[in-house]
Amino acid sequence: MTIKFVLREDKADKNGLVPVFIDATFEGLRLRCFTREKCLPKEWNADKQRFRKGKTGAEEANNVLDAIAERVQKRYRDLRTAGIPPTLALLRDVINPAAAKPEQGMAEAMTAFIEVLRGRGYALNTLRHYGTARNHLAAFLASGKRKKVSVADYDGAVHDEFVKYLRTTCGLSANGIYTVLKDVKTFLRHAQDERKQKLGLELKRVEVRYADQAKTYLTGADLAALAAVKLPKTLEPTRDVFLFCCYTGLRYSDVSALHGGNLHALGANGDGDRVLRLVQTKTRATLSIYLSRLAAEILDRYAAAERSGEGAKLLPVLANQPMNRYLKKITQLAGLTRLVEVVSTAGGKVEKEAVPLHELVTMHTARHTFAVQSLLRGMPVAVLQRVMGHAKIQNTMKYAQVVEELQHQAMRAAWDGPANQSSQDAPDGAVCSVLAAA
């Protein structure tokens, strides 16, 4: 490769300045490209192919030409070493590198991140969650006139202000803040690990804490009352779909999408027990769920209607919002009106109130009910994890922690069981002394 720098006097501008071109020849090809440097003809030394010392900024301009020649030669060598035929286009790119794009603001960068997730096939609901976090971040930055805060500018001070904004201005609960920060933290990790961007704070500084809340679930007596209550015909389908989810643990998104292809017979002749095989909408986990007698009866109740051509769905599932509204009325009619303590945090204060159970019931209550009732009936936690499609057993263990009936059973067996009759007959002082020693 030979490289020269020449003046293109035929391209002089109205001020008499002449552009300097690089003239590189290699393997029968010739590359001629503007270097973005100009001078008067008298300021150019044609023999040395450099600017004369009398030109203002000559040393800096000559350094630019040297850097261009070095970049072109290096690119040529790298291409030959990699076995890639050098082309004019590949070499032209290094002569005038594209100007660095201005750094994106946090909100714009997170929008681009969401599009990356969309391209990777993430579920629509997941993308919607990230979009909510992005909207909160954009609103915060706009409120403080920080629209151009970049990933590198997002430091500990800005993060603390963002958390305060979520709590005070947006009025989010502790778990609402947890959801937003979890998504923002995932975005920052992507920027650092995959885009090699420098963060303004350490990821561990983005605290993400989830406050466990009491899960609403129904007892066996509640389920019996719900199944026995006489309802208007318009409410019966909602009650049946809810009970079906209580017996199978399905989410609303999965029960609403059930079709004939999900139903399979276990018996060789097709007349035995049946199972549902499906892929969860939320986690994409593959599930195989045994249909208990109660679940199968509900499914059979609507099988005739489906065969008459009302559609491919196995159950008459309405939109989630009206179903939740109907459920509150249905559970009230079933007598599920006992008071339940609800704890919330507002303005840094813990607030407690007694709320009738029926006001708390939603379609997702069925999933909690299935988990709790399965544990009470002796289902191993590891099996329950598979049935519910949890990726981590810790998620399933949360249900074991809230099943207070299991605690009562263990205490009853320990203190009132036949094997402990001798302990029951012991004087109180003896029992107390053992406890004190422990």
> CA of 260: how far to CAs of 284, 307, 388, in Å?
19, 10, 21
**Residue 22, φ and ψ in degrees, nearest 5:** -90, 140
Q: 3-state class of 208 per DSSP?
A: coil
346-401: pLDDT as tens digits: 656 777 889 999 999 999 999 999 998 988 888 888 888 888 888 887 877 777 66
Distance CA 365, CA 299 (A): 20
How many DSSP H helices and E strands does the chain contain?
Answer: 18, 10
Identify the DSSP state of 165. I
pLDDT at 218: 93
Q: Can you tell me the mean pLDDT for 327-342? A: 94
Give the CATH fold of the 220-402 domain: hpI Integrase; Chain A (1.10.443)
Helices (H), 151-198: 156-164, 174-193
Q: What is the mean pLDDT of the chain?
A: 84
Count, residues in the chain = 438
Pairing of strands 339-346, 29-39: unpaired
pLDDT(339) > 80:
yes
pLDDT at 215: 77
pLDDT at 1: 86
pLDDT at 278: 92
121-145: pLDDT as tens digits: 888 888 998 999 999 999 999 887 6
2-16: pLDDT as tens digits: 999 999 999 888 889
Beta partners for 2?
Answer: 25
pLDDT at 430: 35
CATH class of 106-205: mainly alpha
User: Percent of the chain, pLDDT > 70?
Assistant: 85
pLDDT(306) > 50:
no
Torsion of CA 130, 132, 135, 139, to 10 degrees: -130
280-294: pLDDT as tens digits: 887 788 999 999 999
Residue 14 corresponds to which amino acid?
A: K
pLDDT at 93: 78
3 vs 90, more confident: 3
CB-based burial, 38-73: b 16+ in 10 Å, e otherwise: bbeeebbeeeebbbeeebeebeebbeebeebbeebb
21-44: pLDDT as tens digits: 999 998 888 989 899 899 999 999
pLDDT at 379: 87
User: What's the pTM value of the predicted model, to 2 decimals?
Assistant: 0.60
Q: Which residues contact 41 (CB under 8 A, 6 or more apart)?
A: 7, 9, 16, 18
| Extents of the domains making up the chain | 2-95, 106-205, 220-402
pLDDT(431) > 60:
no
pLDDT at 268: 60
145-192: pLDDT as tens digits: 676 788 999 998 999 999 999 988 888 877 788 889 999 999 999 999
pLDDT(316) > 90:
yes
Q: How far is CA 150 from the centre of its chain?
A: 21
pLDDT(345) > 90:
no
pLDDT(427) > 90:
no
195 vs 256, more confident: 256
Distance CA 414, CA 426 (A): 14
pLDDT at 416: 78
Distance CA 76, CA 8 (A): 24
Beta partners for 287?
Answer: 278
Q: 3-state class of 231 per DSSP?
A: coil
pLDDT at 422: 42
> What end-to-end distance do the CA atoms of the chain give, in Å?
87
